[in-house]
Amino acid sequence: MEKPRQISAMEAFEKLEKVGEGTYGKVYRARERATGKIVALKKTRLHEDDEGVPPTTLREVSILRMLSRDPHVVRLMDVKQGQNKEGKTVLYLVFEYMDTDLKKYIRSFRQTGENIPVNIVKSLMYQLCKGVAFCHGHGVLHRDLKPHNLLMDRKTMTLKIADLGLARAFTLPIKKYTHEILTLWYRAPEVLLGATHYSTAVDMWSVACIFAELVTKQALFPGDSELQQLLHIFRLLGTPNEQVWPGVSSLPNWHEYPQWSAQSLASAVPNLDSDGLHLLSEMLQYDPSKRISAKKAMEHPYFADLSKAYL
Amino acid sequence: MAELENPNVMPNLITFLSSLLQKEAESNDVNRRFKAQKVSVFHGLSRPTISIQNYLDRIYKYANCSPSCFIVAYVYLDRFAQRQPSLPINSFNVHRLLITSVMVAAKFMDDMYYNNAYYAKVGGISTTEMNFLEVDFLFGLGFQLNVTPNIFNTYYSYLKRETMLQQCPPSIVESSLSLGRSLNLHLCFNEEDSTHQNQQVAV
């Protein structure tokens, strides 16, 4: 992480192919010339002169500096400063290379019509909970957990949490959080209802949605607007009220919504055993204070028969 | 930490922080004659005419960031000094280090903040220079921007205590002055030590 004046990023790495494109720049598969090692290079343009270093980069790097030691958080190996052809500063984040992500993995099963094997779902879920527990234990909220942000190695079936650009440390007193975060489908109801002081439970809601999606290969709540998103949730889990969720009617975006009663999770997520359904329901608790934590989830009976030695 | 929102707390704290940085800068100005100090991008060609106090007041007035950002900025300055021993705070670089540290703290901490161009205006420098300072400051810190609650509280209670001592009636100031002498007033908390005390936050 020292300032690399001597050797530029482009001398150190050979770009092999573009593998993705984010908000702030391209991601390449690249080879480190010195070692032959394959890495992912995330290039960050600083082209918006007025903005300087994008805050997502600033947060991602500093948070990964703290969390990268966990086996279930993507490993940031280095940050290099370089210049593009126009002579502008670019930053390269050097990550370990992972060959796929959970979104592509789920899609590959959807295409063949097969189900993801039960033991694989369990292993991936356990690794996800473990990584999330690690982040939360270090005072970091991810805030944008979704299949696309979970990297995988197909050979070892290792899962790693990535894209911490929206993550933040939640432990220091700051002005209210914005609620303009998270992909809609995985967004917790308290965020949709406009709560500005939310916590680790928002990540657990996303974990629940990912869990169901691993089993059914379909998004659990595929809303296309904030209102539709809420109605999707209410239709399955019942419209919340002060009894199940004290304080819900005082949230900023609360209105009189259509009244639905809760449907059975088993019908929405078939092929999940009773332990799995119980865990899922604990993760989908309306009241954030009652929602299960990542750490508690790891101890749930659903994971009892999983061999955790290598996870 | 609701007391940070109290309108009387921050201005006093800002005043104390200014005097602390001024002492630090002046003492390093003297040292420069004896010990080589590197010239960095933060180093102005001349000593800025605006006092540290007025400069920090100006930042406080216009940045409109969470009050915590000033504590965090102070942590960053201290980290920077520890990681870059050849670049101590002096009268030529203290202004640029200040505007950069507050801006980086606000970008890291707050969901809503002003951009580099705005901070450049507040700080009286060009946007291009602001951008250079930002990147150099980040690399100088090794991108270690996270501040654990434990570290935050250590720095905050230090600032709070010293700020209060400065405002005490003369009779108490008398005794606190001797206390002040025994305290090391330099910016030097050992973060390694304090992180050990709070294992659940920072392992």
Q: Name the residue among A91, A172, A178 with its Cβ closest to that of B68.
A: A172
Helix, strand, coil percent content, chain B, rounded in steps of 5: 65, 0, 35
Mark whether A113 and A136 lie in a shared domain. yes
Q: In whole angstroms, what is the distance from residue A261 CA to residue A248 CA?
A: 16
Contact B130 A1 (CB under 8 A): no
Chain B stretch 115-144, residues whose beta carbon is closer than 8 A to a beta carbon of chain A: 115-117, 127-128, 130-131, 134-136, 138-140, 142-144
Q: In whole angstroms, what is the distance from residue A303 CA to residue A307 CA?
A: 9
Q: In whole angstroms, what is the distance from residue B44 CA to residue A223 CA?
A: 54
Q: Which pLDDT score is estimated for B35?
A: 66
Does a structural domain hold residue A292?
yes
Does a structural domain hold residue A1?
no
Domain boundary pick from A67, A96, A125: A96
Contact A50 B115 (CB under 8 A): yes
Q: Which pLDDT score is estimated for A89?
A: 82
B49: number of Cβ within 10 Å: 6
Contact B131 A89 (CB under 8 A): yes
Residue B113 phi, psi dihedral angles, 5° rounding:
-155, 165
Mean pLDDT of the region A114-138: 96
Mean residue pLDDT of chain A comes to 89
Does a structural domain hold residue A4?
no
Asked if B194 contacts B151 with a C-beta cutoff of 8 angstroms, the reply is: yes
Q: Which amino acid is at B40?
A: S
DSSP A176: P
> Going residue by residue through chain B (203 aa), what tens digit of pLDDT does each one get?
567 777 778 888 899 899 989 888 888 888 776 666 677 778 877 778 899 999 999 999 999 888 999 999 999 999 999 998 888 888 888 999 999 999 999 999 887 889 999 999 999 999 999 999 999 999 999 999 989 888 999 999 999 888 888 776 555 444 444 333 333 334 444 554 443 333 322 22
Contacts 24+ apart (CB under 8 A), B24-28: B24/B88, B24/B89, B24/B94, B24/B186, B24/B187, B25/B52, B25/B89, B25/B90, B25/B91, B25/B94, B26/B91, B28/B88, B28/B89, B28/B90
B5: number of Cβ within 10 Å: 12
- CATH code of the domain covering residue A273: 1.10.510.10
Contact B113 A55 (CB under 8 A): yes
Mark whether A155 and A92 lie in a shared domain. no
Does a structural domain hold residue A160?
yes
- CATH code of the domain covering residue A17: 3.30.200.20
Q: Which pLDDT score is estimated for B198?
A: 34
Q: In whole angstroms, what is the distance from residue A302 CA to residue A308 CA?
A: 13
> Could you tell me the CA-to-CA distances from A74 to A69, A198, A207, B39, B107 in Å, in that order?
9, 25, 17, 37, 23
Q: Which pLDDT score is estimated for A282?
A: 98
pLDDT exceeds 60 at position A299: yes
Q: Which pLDDT score is estimated for B176?
A: 42
Q: Which pLDDT score is estimated for A69?
A: 85
> Could you tell me the CA-to-CA distances from A138 to A210, A241, B87 in Å, in that order?
22, 33, 31
Over residues A30-58, the pLDDT tens digits come to 999 999 999 999 888 776 688 899 888 88
Q: Name the residue among B4, B135, B203 with its Cβ closest to that of A173.
A: B4
Mark whether A90 and A104 lie in a shared domain. no
pLDDT exceeds 60 at position A6: no
Residue position matching structure tokens 């002096």:
B90
Mark whether A158 and A293 lie in a shared domain. yes
Asked if A110 contacts A185 with a C-beta cutoff of 8 angstroms, the reply is: no
Q: Which pLDDT score is estimated for B178?
A: 38
Q: Give percent of chain A above pLDDT 90.
A: 67
Asked if B203 has any chain A CB less than 8 Å from its own CB, the reply is yes
Domain boundary pick from A63, A96, A129: A96
Q: Which pLDDT score is estimated for A172?
A: 57
A175, A180, A196: best to mutate for the B interface, most B CBs within 10 A: A175
Q: In whole angstroms, what is the distance from residue A208 CA to residue A202 CA?
A: 10
Mark whether A163 and A194 lie in a shared domain. yes
Of A272, A222, A268, the residue nearest A121 (C-alpha): A272
Residue position matching structure tokens 């220091």:
A172
Domains parsed from chain B with CATH numbers: 12-147 (1.10.472.10), 151-197 (no CATH)
Asked if A55 has any chain B CB less than 8 Å from its own CB, the reply is yes
Mean pLDDT of the region A163-175: 65
Contact A3 B66 (CB under 8 A): no
Mark whether A216 and A242 lie in a shared domain. yes
The residue in chain B having the minimum alpha-carbon distance to the alpha carbon of residue A174 is B66
Domain containing residue A206: 100-303
Mark whether A90 and A107 lie in a shared domain. no
Domain boundary pick from A46, A76, A96: A96
Mark whether A122 and A58 lie in a shared domain. no
Contact A174 B139 (CB under 8 A): no
Q: Is A144 considered catalytic here?
A: yes
Q: Which pLDDT score is estimated for B110?
A: 86
**A42 marked as binding residue:** yes
Alpha helices in chain A (DSSP H): 9-12, 55-67, 102-112, 118-137, 189-192, 201-216, 226-237, 265-268, 274-283, 294-298
Helix (H) or strand (E) holding B62: helix B52-63
Q: A145 vs chain B: nearest CA distance in angstroms?
A: 18
Number of domain units in chain A: 2
Q: In whole angstroms, what is the distance from residue A276 CA to residue A272 CA?
A: 6
Q: Which chain A residues are Cβ-neighbours of B201 within 8 angstroms?
A: 138-139, 171
A48, A62, A76, A86: best to mutate for the B interface, most B CBs within 10 A: A62
B76, B109, B122, B146: best to mutate for the A interface, most A CBs within 10 A: B146
**The token pair that represents A7 in the structure block:** 């050797």
Mark whether A156 and A190 lie in a shared domain. yes
Of B101, B99, B86, B115, the residue nearest B48 (C-alpha): B99
Of A6, A9, A7, A5, the residue nearest A80 (C-alpha): A9
> Could you tell me the CA-to-CA distances from A13 to A84, A88, A201, B58 in Å, in that order?
14, 19, 40, 44
Mark whether A82 and A200 lie in a shared domain. no
Q: A142 vs chain B: nearest CA distance in angstroms?
A: 14
Handedness of CA A243, A244, A247, A249 (dihedral sign): negative
Chain A stretch 201-220, residues whose beta carbon is closer than 8 A to a beta carbon of chain B: none
Q: In whole angstroms, what is the distance from residue B124 CA to residue B130 CA?
A: 10
Contact A177 B4 (CB under 8 A): no
Higher pLDDT, B165 or A301: A301
pLDDT bracket for residue A24 (50, 70, 90)? low
**The token pair that represents B142 in the structure block:** 């090794």
Q: Which pLDDT score is estimated for A304?
A: 96
Of B135, B99, B136, the residue nearest B120 (C-alpha): B99
Mark whether A245 and A258 lie in a shared domain. yes
Residue A297 phi, psi dihedral angles, 5° rounding:
-60, -35
Over residues B59-118, the pLDDT tens digits come to 999 998 889 999 999 999 999 999 988 888 888 889 999 999 999 999 998 878 899 999
Helices B149-167 and B170-182 pack at an angle, to 10 degrees, of 140
Q: Which pLDDT score is estimated for B173?
A: 45
Does a structural domain hold residue A311?
no
DSSP B120: H
Higher pLDDT, B34 or A132: A132
A50: number of Cβ within 10 Å: 13
Q: Name the residue among B107, B110, B140 with its Cβ closest to that of A174.
A: B110
Helix (H) or strand (E) holding A93: strand A89-96
Q: Which pLDDT score is estimated for B192?
A: 45
Mark whether A150 and A185 lie in a shared domain. yes
Q: Which pLDDT score is estimated for B194?
A: 41
The residue in chain A having the minimum alpha-carbon distance to the alpha carbon of residue B69 is A174
Mean pLDDT of the region A244-260: 95
Q: In whole angstroms, what is the distance from residue A158 CA to residue A151 CA?
A: 8
Q: In whole angstroms, what is the distance from residue A188 CA to residue A168 CA?
A: 17
What are the residues whose beta carbons fall under 8 Å from the beta carbon of A196, sequence distance 6 or more?
A: A176, A177, A178, A179, A252
